[in-house]
Chain A
Amino acid sequence: MTPELNPAPYRGESLNQPTLLITPQWPSFEPERALNLIQKEAEWVGLRWVRETTQRRSARNGRPENNGAHFSFGVMIETLIDGHIAYAGTSDLSDQGLLRATQTAALKAKEMATRKAYAASIKERPTSVGRYEGPKGRWLDTEALATLSGHLIECTHRLKVSEAIVTAVAEVSLIESEVWYLTSSGTNLQQRQFMTGQHFGAIAQDSGETQQRSLNGPTARCQQGGLEALDWDQLEAACEGVGEQALALLKADNCPNESLDLILAADQMLLQIHESIGHPLELDRILGDERNYAGWSFIKPSDFGALQYGSPLMNVTFDPTYPGEFASYRFDDGGAPATREFLIKEGLLVRGLGGLESQHRLGLQGVSNFRSSGWNRAPIDRMANINLEPGHSRLGDMIQQVERGILMEANRSWSIDDVRKKFQFGCEIGHLIEQGRITRILKNPNYRGVTVPFWHALAAVGDRSTRNHFGTPYCGKGEPQQMIRVGHASPACLFRNIEVFGGAP
Chain B
Amino acid sequence: MGFGEYVGSELSTLGFYAQQHFLLVLYAVAAASVIALALGVLLHTNELTPESWTRKMRVGSRETALLLASAALTVPSLALFGLLQPVLGIGVAPALVGLTIYGTYPVLRNTVAGLSSVDPAVLDAARGMGLGPVRRMLRVQLPLAWPVILSGIRVATLILIGVAVVAAIVRGPGFGQPLFTGLGRLGAVNSFNQVLAGTLGCLAVAAVYEIAFFAIARLTTPRGIRVR
The judgment on whether A and B are partners is no
User: Footprint of A on B, CB under 8 Å?
Assistant: none
